[in-house]
Amino acid sequence: MGQHTTDTSLTLFDFLIGLGKILRYHSDSEYPMSENSFGSQAIDIAWFNEQGDRFPLFIFEIESTSNNSIANNPTKIFGKESKVFEKPLFFFHIIIDGAENSEKYNDLLGLFGKYNYDLFRVNNGQTENLILKIISQHRRIHNHIDLPYLIRHINNYENIKTEIVFDRFLTELEQLIQENESYRTGQAYADIGSRDISFIEQYVKFIHRSYLNKSLPYLSYESYYASICSEFINLGILHYNFKDTLRDTDFKNLLIEAQKTETFDKIEYLPGLNYDYDIFIQDFVPFYLTLTFFLFDGNISAQRYVLDVALGIIRKLQISNDFTFEHHVSWFLLMAASNQEFYKDFEEVRNSMNSNSGILNTILYCPIFMNDHNNLPDSEMILIPDRNTYVELFKREFSHLSNDKDINQIAIMSLSEDWKDAQDRHFNLGVDLSNLVSKSLS
């Protein structure tokens, strides 16, 4: 093994050692091939099933150039009898700066290609293929691939990241994920996108791919509330970003179909039967329905369906001291006020609340993610004004806030808990959504 000194080779060296750890191998570098390490031939990078194993599963040799000694590295592995040195599951031969066309490549593949060997030329744009080949070989012996760690690892190395066309790479990567793990891909991508704005585009494209290959209904999300609401949110993301190319798609019918597995229609609020369910109704239902509603901006049919679902839930709730009813109402009125098509719905809920002495102003004009509403020192009971006055007052409430997040980012963050490890857990997606909507009300 030669000394690696170029930035590219050092970066790749470090990247591959880290990748081995992410894939749960014991990674070693400059690994001696004989027990007498002094003067022994050595392997650039070796991945073992576990620490203490004698022979590696995967071998990586990195060549700075395609010089005349290029055959030495595979020869030292495949030229030995197996009782001396067992053959690896795969040998990755990597050339950093190889000649454009060289007979050496064909000679190497002709001589060693019948073994588990392949050649990868970094300067010929084969870094992406190298990583996919590694994952493919990894999948021969292990089912699990930790997608968030893998993709974040790639993003940590700018020289590696710039060599990858992510649309193509992720599409190929998804084909390598075992069927019994593919349902977790949405959660993995949401976790990445919730922390990394640059990955939001990839999540959106993944949802489109999932819709086209009919796997969208089978995506699974970890939190109780996201697992129930995710298909509504993902259909909304699909509509928001691809409505022009999917103009003939009946999104209302897709929402109805989504109810077959996780239904809102059957919600009966019976407090005390299930803690998670109670929290879901009290805190999260109105936010997720409102987020879905505005993701379907411009699709009156789909928005009408979501609004009817929200109204059906409100009719089942009772006014109580925990402000659950008012929490739902504050989000419903924001939806209904967004379009004159829903004027009658606005008036129905407005008149119902006003006939019961109204609502706290601090709830009406501040819909939030979780139901943390309280009777604050500046709270006062007010009657809900007419639709136009309500819109003006609502816009004024958020006029001092800039619009920092788009609806795709809010939607993806709502499907993940991962970002909360990096930010204040009280960060309020409801305020972000309310602020975003306030800028478009008229």
Is the separation of the CB atoms in 90 and 80 below 8 Å?
A: no
Assess contact for 330 and 366: CB atoms under 8 A: yes
Q: What pLDDT is stored for residue 365 in this prediction?
A: 94
Among the listed residues 45, 2, 3, 12, the one whose alpha carbon sits nearest the alpha carbon of residue 123: 12
Measure the N-to-C terminal CA separation of the chain; round to a whole number of Å: 69
Radius of gyration of the chain (CA): 28
CB 56 within 8 A of CB 68: no
Pairing of strands 117-121, 26-32: unpaired
pLDDT at 178: 75
- DSSP assignment of 378-429, as one string? T--EE----HHHHHHHHHHHTTTS-----HHHHHHHHT-SGGGGTS-TT--H
Helix (H, G, I), strand (E, B) or coil at 45: strand
Neighbours of 157 (CB within 10 A): 17
- For each of the chain's 442 residues, which pLDDT tens digit applies? 445 557 888 999 999 999 999 999 999 999 988 766 555 789 999 999 999 999 999 999 999 887 878 888 899 998 889 888 999 999 999 999 877 766 778 888 888 878 889 999 998 899 999 999 999 999 999 988 899 999 999 999 999 999 999 999 999 999 998 777 888 999 999 999 999 999 999 999 999 999 999 999 999 999 888 988 999 999 999 999 999 999 999 999 999 998 865 556 655 655 666 777 778 877 889 999 999 999 999 999 999 999 999 998 898 887 777 788 999 999 999 999 999 999 999 999 999 999 989 999 999 999 988 877 777 777 899 999 999 999 999 999 999 988 778 999 999 999 999 888 655 554 689 999 999 999 999 8
- Give pTM, 2 decimals: 0.89
Largest CA distance in the chain: 91
Specify whether the CB–CB gap between 83 and 97 falls below 8 A: no
Closest CA to 204 of 426, 5, 407: 407
- For the sheet containing 42-48, what is the strand order? 26-32, 42-48, 58-65, 90-97, 117-121
Helix (H, G, I), strand (E, B) or coil at 177: coil
What gap in Å lies between CA 45 and CA 263, rounded to an integer?
Answer: 52
Helix (H, G, I), strand (E, B) or coil at 94: strand
Q: Is 261 helix (H, G, I), strand (E, B) or coil?
A: coil
Residues in contact with 101: Cβ distance below 8 Å, sequence separation at least 6, in sequence order: none
Give the pLDDT score at 28.
94
Distance (Å, rounded) from C-alpha 145 to C-alpha 177? 7
Whole-number pLDDT of residue 70:
84
One DSSP character per residue, 339-386 reads: -GGGHHHHHHHHHHHHTTT-EEHHHHT---SS------TT--EE----
Q: From the CB of residue 25, how many other CB atoms can be counted at a distance below 10 Å?
A: 23
CB 180 within 8 A of CB 167: no
- Residue 31, SS3 per DSSP: strand
Closest CA to 332 of 360, 313, 319: 313
- The pLDDT score that the predictor gives to residue 247 is 93
Q: Which residue ranges form the domains of the chain, and what is each CATH number?
A: 7-142 (3.40.1350), 145-220 (no CATH), 222-438 (no CATH)
Give dist(CA 170, CA 164) in Å, integer. Answer: 10
Measure the CA–CA gap between 277 and 404, rounded to whole angstroms.
32
Half-sphere exposure of 282 (CA within 13 A, CB side): 16
The answer to whether 97 touches 123, Cβ cutoff 8 Å, is yes
Q: What is the pLDDT of residue 263?
A: 57
Query: What single-letter amino acid sits at 27?
Result: S
